[in-house]
Structure 1
Amino acid sequence: MRVIENNSSKIQLQIDKMKQLRAEYEAKELRYHTFSKDPSKPIPGMTLQESVNLVALTKYLKHLEDKYAEIKQAMLKKYVPIQRKAELDEEMIVTLKRRDLAENLNKQLQFRHQRLQIISNALISWIKSDMSSSFEDFVEHIQKTKSLPGDEGIVEELLEDDPGKAKGAEILLCYIERFSELMSLGEYEKAACFAANSPKRILQNIGTVNKFKAVGKIRGKPFPLLLFFEAIFSTSHAYRRPINAELTLEGIKCGLSEKRLDLVIHWVTQERLTFSEELGDVICDYGEQDTYNKAKCLALAQMIYSECGLHKKALLCICKQGQIPGAMEYIQQFKDFTYDDLMQLIKLCPHIELIQCLTREWNGKPPSLSFGLAILHLFSVDLKKVGIKLLEEISKGGKSIVEHLMINDQFFSLENWQEIANICLQNGFDQLSQDIMSILRSQAGVTEISEEDDTVNLMEHVFW
């Protein structure tokens, strides 16, 4: 057994040695023969018969050499080192600077040439005239009148110290062309910014708005029209005058149509816009549809109406927000509210608290409305429920409150109070009706009028 193991070990050592020698030989062969082809395989592009023909082989070798030279030449033309690219970039920058300097110099020289032409024409005109004044006075006269025969329209520009003003129309034309180019390329965001920064706001008009409207919405991209209004509103402080009313209205409509109330709030409160009644109406209408943001819309509309001097609509917005004390202060501040205005107010905003405040003293001042007339008005305009609610509130106070209210109501006649008593009786407020009639009877010179008595002349009543 031991003999067998020894023989096996010797054989294994010999096998390992042979493997090592074979590996060294293969490595040596690869080092000196990195690329080789099997000569038994056919040459690509040649038949077996051509591959053993010396003439065909020579011709094929020439073809391969030409192809190699062509590829090598193409490599030299199509590819350059990275260092060469950097050198070309530097050369381009230098060339562009030279071009800009040359253009500026050319503009200055053109401007000087035009001014010299004006002076030359002025000199010719002065020579043709009687030359009663000096040439300097003649030129000064041209500067004041901005006129010269044959050169009207350009003298004013050429006599300016700033050459840029002489090319104003050309610059504006370039702006319009560039804007149209951006629109045609679909660069709507750049076009919007370009229009917002256009000189003299030449691109901030309804025509530009219509161009953005014509684009419509693009899936996956911001609404181009909204981008335009964002751009022009954000630059509104850069100009002396605010955005005009027409553009302001279109912009707010666009923002609301996209449900961007946050943008609208920012525009109205922070940017320089021109407010109008229609603008306030648009925001109010949006608040009626979006009940969650109704209070915000009413606050914005109130601010707009106040700025426009539309105090009745501003007051209505305050009342709809439930700010009754604020509404009363507003009424006291602006004393141009008529009796009919306040009656219309309680019709449009029939809040119990508002009507109570209007029919009572406020900060030591007499009531703005008659309680009795307010009740009759509510019943006459299909607001019976509000009227009944008011009667419930007053009936809780007892007879003393009713008497105080009747005595201090200077706008209401006795027969009207009888009508109020009848309304109370018809709607289940028997005690309140009795209290009113009792107070009426207690007044000196008051006679109860029977419904069956047709001989009584109502004009002969004594009013207190």
Structure 2
Amino acid sequence: MDAGERLLYTDRSLHGNKPPLPPIVCERDKIALKEVQNYIKTELQKVGCTTPGPDDRRYWIYSTAFSKLISKVTVYKDILSDIKREYEDCIAALKTGQREAKFLQVKIKTLSSLPTTVNGYQRRQKELENRLSILNSENQRLENTLNELLKIGEEDNSSTGDVDNINVEDSVAMTTKTEKFEKRPIPGLPVIDWTNEKTLKSAVENLNSVIEELGKQKKTLYVPKEKRDEMLQEFKEKMKEKEQLAIDCAKLKKRHKLLKMANEAAREYKELALHRKGGSLSDYILKKVTNYSMKRESSLLIDSPHAGFEDDDPSREKEAEMILEYIEKFNELFYDGEYANAATHAAISPRGVLRAMETFLRFKEVSINYVGTPTPLFMFAEAFMYSSSAQNHFADEEMSYECVNCALNENRPDMVLHWVTQGCIKSCKAVADRLCEYAESCTQNKDSCLAAAQKMYSETSGCKILAASLLYKIGQVAGMLDYTHVEKFTRETYFELLKQCMDENLVWILSRTTPDEYSASDDSASGQSERYISYQSPLPIPLSHSLIHLIQVGDDGKILAVQLLDQIYNGQKVEKVGDSDDSPLTASDLSKVIYEDGQDAYDNNDLVKRRWKAIAKECENQDKFELAMDIHAAIVVRNTISKALSVIAEDEKEQFDYYT
């Protein structure tokens, strides 16, 4: 009888069949029980398994807690340990069974797919057998062909009595060599792709494309050395022909000059009537021609003392050969990838033979897929511009635009500004337009790019309006007015400027600026104001005329015109009161502006009245009824004042006529 049975027997003997009393729990057991419960709760929260259910982590937590509980008791430790061990063995057996079941399921699936695998291997076997049969038949065909060729060679050798007959050993060696050549690995392909038909086809296509490209390069990039010698000889012949033509031309010019002198001498002889004095015409002509020849020879000796040795210069004979060698050196540097050296070499080429658009296009082509900065195209553009001033071979409009476009694409506006300052770029509209386009996208260098573009516009014919509009856009209003006066803008030209800028402030400036005010703003010490004395400026432009022009431009012009009138109506525009520089600024009044509008020799009162009525109608169309009413009232006031002034003038005239 073990300890558990003895304890149960003793309990029954003491109490009989009565239910046992609840156990008396001591303080030590309470503490132990509380520790175990806290341990279980804490561990479950750590691993995140608070929800009841089958889980290995919960199992290990409760197993550990059970072990701790067993360690706390003394009487039931053995039986509880046995119970725990039995449970663990049972659970381990269940887990082992699950693992074996999974393994058996995988094995069953593998066995079930075995027939499919066998069928696949059988099909692969048939495919390889078919390929093997094809290869055997091809080998047999090649062997038959080789035997036939050997027989034909033996027959030819036997018929001609040639000693060098092909024996069996040579045929075997040839066959072995052929087989060895055919069995060597394919370069660039792994072994696994040797039997892949698609990979082999793509490799053949690549090889064909490489062969085709090499053939094109052979035809276009390389020529035989004999061709170079022929070209050199032809070049020398052309140079000799050119020298002979130059000599003939000099002789003809000399003869023409002598004949001209003889003709002039004959006319002079006739006018002076020298034949009456006893002198003959031939002697007079001979004397004039002799004097001219002596003067010419003395001047030639003074101006060019070494002219007689120019034809004997050996460098002229080698010039053609040097140019060809220079071009060959450039091609070598270019195809070796030394683009920086090639660009410098082309930029400083003799006679500028490589400073052409064809060279630029070659650098542009290789720069498309070039990785890195700067690109070969920018290298050539930089070298081209730096060598322009040194060789006096300045770029034309097309080359200037391409170089500037390349530099701006590389985000190097500083280089473009340097070229413009040094005068390496030819001023043209295309370059200026490209600078304006870049200035819109790059705010950091906007002012400098616009200033350079304005300089090019001002130096290009037909771009004066664009130059003036750029001056206004960069805030140089005084400079814009100075430029328009220098270029003698007419009223129509100012209207084109308004159309280009479309700004209400410019309309206000042109309508309030007078030539006197503008001349006073200039530096009197520089003498710039003197040039306006002889030129009648069209400023100020009547405000009604400018507004009518804006309304005729389109919807944007109509909105701009009404917006300017609204600003004047609300007192947002200011002007000087008086002619001095210290005159105060006051808000402009619409009635005053309308009254003072057109008070010059260009427009009469009726024309100004019709303009303001059209402007008022446009204000009504844009729902500016108060503004339109104010304009109509100002027109009535203007007409009334004009009539009153005309009546007063007539009365004064009558009084003057009466007293005189």
Flag whether TM exceeds 0.5 (same fold).
yes
d(CA) in 2 for partners of 1:224, 1:157: 46
What amino acid sits opposite 1:257 in the alignment?
N
Residue number in structure 1 paired with 2:198: none
d(CA) in 1 for partners of 2:495, 2:512: 15
- After the TM superposition, which parts of structure 1 deviate over 6 Å for at least 4 consecutive aligned residues? none
Residue number in structure 2 paired with 1:176: 327
Corresponding residue to 1:374 among 532, 546, 551: 546
Unaligned 5+ runs, structure 1: 1-114, 119-143, 145-155, 447-464
d(CA) in 1 for partners of 2:432, 2:538: 32
d(CA) in 2 for partners of 1:389, 1:176: 65
Q: Deviations over 1:282-336 (max 9, x none)?
A: 222222333443332221111111122332221121122222221111111111x
- Contact 2:511–2:542, Cα closer than 8 Å, also in 1: yes
> After the TM superposition, which residues 60-459 of structure 1 pair with which residues of structure 2 at under 5 Å, given as runs?
160-216=311-367, 217-309=369-461, 310-335=463-488, 337-364=489-516, 367-380=539-552, 381-382=554-555, 383-395=557-569, 396=571, 397-398=588-589, 399-408=591-600, 410-411=602-603, 412-424=607-619, 426-427=623-624, 428-429=626-627, 430-444=629-643
- Contact 2:542–2:597, Cα closer than 8 Å, also in 1: no
Residue number in structure 2 paired with 1:455: none
Q: What is the DSSP-based 3-state SS (H/G/I as helix, E as strand, rest coil) of the residue aligned with 1:444?
A: helix
Q: What is the DSSP-based 3-state SS (H/G/I as helix, E as strand, rest coil) of the residue aligned with 2:475?
A: coil
Question: What is the TM-score of this pair, normalised by structure 2?
Answer: 0.41
Q: What is the DSSP-based 3-state SS (H/G/I as helix, E as strand, rest coil) of the residue aligned with 1:400?
A: helix
Deviates more, 1:409-418 or 1:216-225: 409-418
Deviates more, 1:304-313 or 1:396-405: 396-405
d(CA) in 1 for partners of 2:426, 2:363: 21
Deviates more, 1:218-227 or 1:433-442: 433-442
- Aligned-residue Cα RMSD (Å) equals 2.9
Unaligned 5+ runs, structure 2: 1-239, 244-296, 298-306, 517-536, 572-587, 646-660
d(CA) in 2 for partners of 1:159, 1:400: 81
Q: Post-superposition shift, 1:239? A: 1.7
Q: What is the DSSP-based 3-state SS (H/G/I as helix, E as strand, rest coil) of the residue aligned with 2:565?
A: helix
Q: What is the DSSP-based 3-state SS (H/G/I as helix, E as strand, rest coil) of the residue aligned with 1:407?
A: coil
d(CA) in 1 for partners of 2:410, 2:452: 18
The structure with the largest alpha-carbon Rg is: 2
Q: What is the DSSP-based 3-state SS (H/G/I as helix, E as strand, rest coil) of the residue aligned with 1:359?
A: helix
Q: What is the DSSP-based 3-state SS (H/G/I as helix, E as strand, rest coil) of the residue aligned with 2:515?
A: coil
- Contact 1:358–1:368, Cα closer than 8 Å, also in 2: yes
- Contact 1:403–1:439, Cα closer than 8 Å, also in 2: yes
Q: Deviations over 1:364-387 (max 9, x none)?
A: 255252210211222332223321
d(CA) in 2 for partners of 1:357, 1:388: 16
The alpha-carbon distance between structure 1 residues 300 and 221, as it changes in their structure 2 partners (threshold 3 A), is closer
- Contact 1:182–1:188, Cα closer than 8 Å, also in 2: yes
The aligned length equals 293
Deviates more, 1:394-403 or 1:183-192: 394-403
Q: Post-superposition shift, 1:346? A: 0.9
Q: What is the DSSP-based 3-state SS (H/G/I as helix, E as strand, rest coil) of the residue aligned with 2:355?
A: coil
What amino acid sits opposite 1:181 in the alignment?
E
d(CA) in 1 for partners of 2:593, 2:601: 12
d(CA) in 1 for partners of 2:634, 2:322: 84
- Contact 1:318–1:326, Cα closer than 8 Å, also in 2: yes
Q: Tell me which of the two structures has the higher relative contact order, counting C-alpha pairs closer than 8 angstroms and 6 or more residues apart.
A: 1
Specify which structure has the higher proportion of helix.
2
Aligned-pair identity in percent equals 31
What amino acid sits opposite 1:390 in the alignment?
L
Deviates more, 1:402-411 or 1:266-275: 402-411
